[in-house]
Homo-oligomer: A and B are copies of this chain.
Amino acid sequence: MTPDTSKHILLMDGPDSKGLIYHVTGVLYRHGLNIIHNDEYVSPAGQFFMRTEFEGTFDSEALLNELYNTLPNADGITFRLNPKRKKNIVVFVTKEHHCLGDLLIRYAFDELDADILAVISNYNHLQPLVSKFGIPFHYVSHEGRSREEHEEAIRRTLSIYEPDYLVLAKYMRVLTAGFVGLFPNRIINIHHSFLPAFVGANPYRQAYERGVKIIGATAHFVNNDLDEGPIIAQNVKEVDHRHSAADMATEGRDVEKIVLSQALKLVFNDRVFIAGNRAIVL
């Protein structure tokens, strides 16, 4: 068996009890592994989360076994051991280019911590942009198809790839629970409002009509409820009465693309735990 030698990330969560940090760091210490970063958090409900980035040579299976066995009580505890590596993603878009453009530029210069395997869209508007970067573009129209038929076509397209994550970079279609259920905690969306304000369609129009003085964007995991999954990152920007709904949309695009990239960076570096409807970022 070939030992692992690169950097790894150990993710642990479960009920809090005395000595968890001690026991886990003890296992790593006895294996001669060097901790680079260690972060932990205990929720008010008593749930313990720890992310440990370490380096050294070890046998993954043996290490995981020892981790579980060293704890006085491992009931409910989960360990995950991820090599530090780039993730593979497929990006979904509709017609808007700003989030996709930002991802493509980052990808082209190896700043994304991920490889973009393909882009899928229900329109062909962004094909020329994607083709500049030599990435497959799949035009899967929803015209004349039921939602289920459309998603089935997407699934067939996706079957060529093995993405770690699906990134909805302004994909303006609601996904069915059935589709979402195939990728639990693996679909990330950017919503163009400061959630939970302005759920649903036309958030900038809603923001204009409500007369808000700040607009925002929210990157979140997608679960069965529209715009309701765990929030990974948010940011905002001041506006005033002079901004029409269209002006807000223009200003908001810069917020959207930066928030999406920030959220992806956190997820792709295995820094995000999901606890119910909350995202814990360590």
Do B209 and A231 have beta carbons less than 8 Å apart? no
Which residues from 103 to 159 on chain A have a C-beta closer than 8 Å to any C-beta of chain B? Answer: 104-105, 108-109, 111, 129, 132-133
Asked, given contacts A25-B25, A281-B240, whether A235 binds B214 with beta carbons under 8 Å apart, the answer is yes
Distance between A197 CB and nearest chain B CB, rounded to angstroms: 4
Interface size class, chain A: 35 or more
Check: A59 CB closer than 8 A to any chain B CB: no
Check: A278 CB closer than 8 A to any chain B CB: yes
Which residues from 199 to 216 on chain A have a C-beta closer than 8 Å to any C-beta of chain B? Answer: 209-214, 216
With A and B bound together, what is the CA distance between A34 and B250 in angstroms?
26
Asked, given contacts A108-B129, A195-B197, A196-B197, whether A234 binds B212 with beta carbons under 8 Å apart, the answer is yes
Do B34 and A42 have beta carbons less than 8 Å apart? no
Contact of A254 among B43, B236, B241, B258 (CB under 8 A): B258
Do B234 and A213 have beta carbons less than 8 Å apart? yes
Check: A87 CB closer than 8 A to any chain B CB: no
Check: A179 CB closer than 8 A to any chain B CB: no
Do A244 and B38 have beta carbons less than 8 Å apart? no
With A and B bound together, what is the CA distance between A278 and B109 in angstroms?
32
Q: Contact residues of A with B, CB < 8 Å?
A: 18-19, 21-22, 25-26, 28-29, 32, 34-44, 97-98, 101-102, 104-105, 108-109, 111, 129, 132-133, 194-198, 209-214, 216, 230-236, 238, 240-242, 244, 250, 254, 258, 261-262, 277-281
- Sample (15) of A-B pairs whose CB atoms are under 8 Å apart: A18-B29, A18-B34, A21-B21, A101-B108, A101-B109, A196-B197, A209-B278, A211-B277, A211-B278, A212-B234, A213-B233, A214-B234, A241-B278, A254-B258, A254-B261
